[in-house]
Structure 1
Amino acid sequence: MAFSLFGIGKNNSDSTKNKVVEVKLDQIIPNRYQPRKVFDQDGIRELAQTIDEHGLLQPIVLREYEPAKYEIIAGERRYRAMKLLKWEKAPAIIEKMSDQETASLALIENLQRSQLSSVEEAQAYRQLMDLNHLTQSQLAKGMGKSQSFVANKLRLLRLITPVQTAILDHRISERHGRALLDLDEKQQRDMLMRIVNERLTVRQTEDEVARLLGRPLPSEIAELKAAAKRKELASLESHPEEVPAAPEETTPAKKTAPKRKAVKKPKNNKAKQVNDARLALNTIKKSIKMATTNGFEIRTQEKDSGDAYQLTIEIPKKQ
């Protein structure tokens, strides 16, 4: 990940970066733009034990925002571990940075090193975009991500605060949250209570949301697809001669066997029709996949009626 995209650290000399000093812990405050909202206390205790046994292998990075007062740029978990160990001073590197640079570097450092929750990651992306006036495309390029990945994370910020908090607290999963994106605020609140109280799975949640919105149930769609696949496989197993074979060169001997040609012709035509239908369906699906990769939200419903494939495509006007 290239920090230069955000203009960080360009004016800092190597001598400044490598100089380690001792700073009193009571002169240090956490970073205001720390994206992590929940710290694993067991993890902090384990880190403290490691530091106690082996020492601090990497100094924390600070900036002096007021005389003799310092703000953490990178290393808040190490700072918390040192406080737990009741250290008086912390080995640190002092950097000269603006508020924007401090905030951006803190966000990037956490995105690189910490396993942030999906909501924390989305909030960090939004803050980086706002601080540095970046588009989704520019941010994705700077972070080494696809634009669709960043767009999908940012969509989580459309969830109401209680749902985001539930994801942060690991009471529900990111996939639970994504299932609620099409609901209004009241519906999200009510469905969150049901997920927690009834311990709904992701698929059960998706079905309940579909019922609220009057849509086909995802579980039923999945079962129809599975049944169609089983039917297709059973048909191929019971009629293996219908699978089209590789084309063969015509020989004089084969030309004199009209009966054999008459038997094969309808079977080959039937297989060709099946293949043509699947080819058309797969071509449409590839186009949909290409659109979603470029950041568009597209919902599809697929059904095999036996005689035809039915594919319903829904593209919300507000992306």
Structure 2
Amino acid sequence: MKSSAKKVELASVDDLFTTEESRADAGREKVVEISLSELHPFKGHPFKVKDDDAMMETADSIRQYGVLVPAIARPDPSGGYELVAGHRRHRASELAEKETMPVIVRDLDDDAATIIMVDSNLQRESLLPSERAFAYKMKLEAMKRQAGRPSKENCSQVGNDFGKKSSEVLAEQVGQSKNQIFRYIRLTELIPELLNMVDEKKIALNPAYELSFLKKEEQTQLLDAMDSEQATPSLSQAQRLKKFSQEGRLSIDVMRAIMGEEKKSDLDKVTFTSDTLRKYFPKSYTPARMQETIIKLLEQWQKKRQRDQER
């Protein structure tokens, strides 16, 4: 005869001697102090950590008050932890001669970690074009993978009821148009030397976008042409360089010819040296006073010309 008694599961000793509150607490995220040497940079981190004035101010604050906002890291399979958010705080802690910093450790997959890493840095007031370009690229690719679609397939649909594309969601999140996001991402095709010139505002964004369509070897040759002609490309020049490249007719000679052209802004500019003007003014006149006097004379001449035309 079979027993009708049900199988009884006995609680473990740990369960018997722990409260419900302590078991719930064990599941919560905790802030732990981790040695700075155990925290490694995020792979492919696109944001630059510079020892500038802002960094020194952060280091002074940490030296006095400590790190007020914990970093976020995930376990690194090769040992230690990979920083997801808090690279600047980590560097500032080093400068402040701290040995540890507060960190929240999370188990994150690559895509979730990438999105958190990008989002935590996009909030900064000033971002370099190169930082924004690589950040948008990394986050968009992670969003596409999370959506479960091939990265090259129709920009990927996000898994929601609205059927929005990943690029559309990203555009809403960062407050940029979808086209502008793709224009920034296109900058990642520039060789480092040209991209640095964009960051340094030696090349504007619109010409840089056009130059990104040049082959890598053509971009390297362009650096030589720019150096020999001591000029950077305007938008129209960059567009012609791109057109010649697409037609297979872009050579170093063509680049030098284009870069050697006088720009419209140069043609519209009239420049006088102080030596040229000095003979028309007393020796006591400063350059600023000479300029002021010339402007007044030109205004008087313009008024006289208008009166003559009205007669």
Report the TM-score when normalising by structure 2.
0.55
Tell me the distance in 1 between the aligned counterparts of 2:228 and 2:65: 45
Asked if the contact 2:49–2:87 (Cα under 8 Å) also holds between the matched residues in 1, the reply is: no
Asked if the contact 2:71–2:89 (Cα under 8 Å) also holds between the matched residues in 1, the reply is: yes
CA 1:40–1:169 in 2, change beyond 3 Å: closer, same or farther? Answer: farther
Tell me the distance in 1 between the aligned counterparts of 2:88 and 2:192: 25
Tell me the distance in 1 between the aligned counterparts of 2:70 and 2:179: 36
- Deviations along 1:236-290, one digit per CA (max 9) or x if unpaired, are xxxxxxxxxxxxxxxxxxxxxxxxxxxxxxxxxxxxxxxxxxxxxxxxxxxxxxx
Within the alignment, does 1:29 sit opposite 2:40 as a pair?
Answer: yes
Within the alignment, does 1:190 sit opposite 2:190 as a pair?
Answer: no
Within the alignment, does 1:164 sit opposite 2:195 as a pair?
Answer: yes
User: How many angstroms does 1:182 deviate by?
Assistant: 5.1
**Which residue in the other structure is 1:140 paired with?**
171
User: How many angstroms does 1:144 deviate by?
Assistant: 3.5
Q: Which amino acid aligns with 2:95?
A: L
Deviates further, 152-161 or 172-181: 172-181
**Which residue in the other structure is 1:110 paired with?**
121
Tell me the distance in 2 between the aligned counterparts of 1:157 and 1:208: 20
SS at match of 1:113: coil
Within the alignment, does 1:206 sit opposite 2:232 as a pair?
Answer: no
Q: Which amino acid aligns with 2:222?
A: M
Tell me the distance in 2 between the aligned counterparts of 1:166 and 1:122: 14
Tell me the distance in 1 between the aligned counterparts of 2:84 and 2:239: 45
Deviates further, 156-165 or 103-112: 156-165
**Which residue in the other structure is 1:41 paired with?**
51
**Alignment length (residue pairs):** 207
Tell me the distance in 1 between the aligned counterparts of 2:214 and 2:188: 13
Asked if the contact 1:119–1:157 (Cα under 8 Å) also holds between the matched residues in 2, the reply is: yes
Asked if the contact 1:16–1:95 (Cα under 8 Å) also holds between the matched residues in 2, the reply is: no
User: How many angstroms does 1:198 deviate by?
Assistant: 4.9
Q: Max radius of gyration: which structure?
A: 2
**Which residue in the other structure is 1:177 paired with?**
208
Q: Which runs of 5+ in 1 are unaligned?
A: 1-12, 224-319
Q: Share of identical aligned residues, percent?
A: 26
User: How many angstroms does 1:211 deviate by?
Assistant: 6.0
Asked if the contact 2:210–2:239 (Cα under 8 Å) also holds between the matched residues in 1, the reply is: no
Deviates further, 106-115 or 191-200: 191-200
Within the alignment, does 1:124 sit opposite 2:153 as a pair?
Answer: no
CA 1:22–1:211 in 2, change beyond 3 Å: closer, same or farther? Answer: closer
Asked if the contact 2:191–2:219 (Cα under 8 Å) also holds between the matched residues in 1, the reply is: yes
**Which residue in the other structure is 1:70 paired with?**
81
SS at match of 1:34: coil
**Which residue in the other structure is 1:16 paired with?**
28
CA 1:51–1:181 in 2, change beyond 3 Å: closer, same or farther? Answer: same
Tell me the distance in 1 between the aligned counterparts of 2:217 and 2:33: 52
- Deviations along 1:15-36, one digit per CA (max 9) or x if unpaired, are 734x322111122111114221
Asked if the contact 1:61–1:94 (Cα under 8 Å) also holds between the matched residues in 2, the reply is: yes
Which structure has greater helix proportion? 1
SS at match of 1:77: helix
CA 1:187–1:207 in 2, change beyond 3 Å: closer, same or farther? Answer: farther
**Which residue in the other structure is 1:58 paired with?**
69
- Deviations along 1:153-176, one digit per CA (max 9) or x if unpaired, are 122233345423443566644345
Report the TM-score when normalising by structure 1.
0.53
Q: Which amino acid aligns with 1:205?
A: S
Q: Which amino acid aligns with 2:209?
A: R
**Which residue in the other structure is 2:248 paired with?**
none
Tell me the distance in 2 between the aligned counterparts of 1:132 and 1:47: 32
Asked if the contact 2:207–2:238 (Cα under 8 Å) also holds between the matched residues in 1, the reply is: no
User: How many angstroms does 1:106 deviate by?
Assistant: 0.7
SS at match of 2:171: helix
Asked if the contact 2:130–2:195 (Cα under 8 Å) also holds between the matched residues in 1, the reply is: yes
**Higher RCO, 1 or 2 (CA under 8 Å, sep at least 6)?**
1
User: How many angstroms does 1:48 deviate by?
Assistant: 0.9
Asked if the contact 1:119–1:168 (Cα under 8 Å) also holds between the matched residues in 2, the reply is: yes
User: How many angstroms does 1:87 deviate by?
Assistant: 1.1
Tell me the distance in 2 between the aligned counterparts of 1:27 and 1:211: 51
Q: Which runs of 5+ in 2 are unaligned?
A: 1-24, 145-155, 157-165, 245-257, 269-311
CA 1:199–1:31 in 2, change beyond 3 Å: closer, same or farther? Answer: same
SS at match of 2:28: helix
SS at match of 1:115: coil
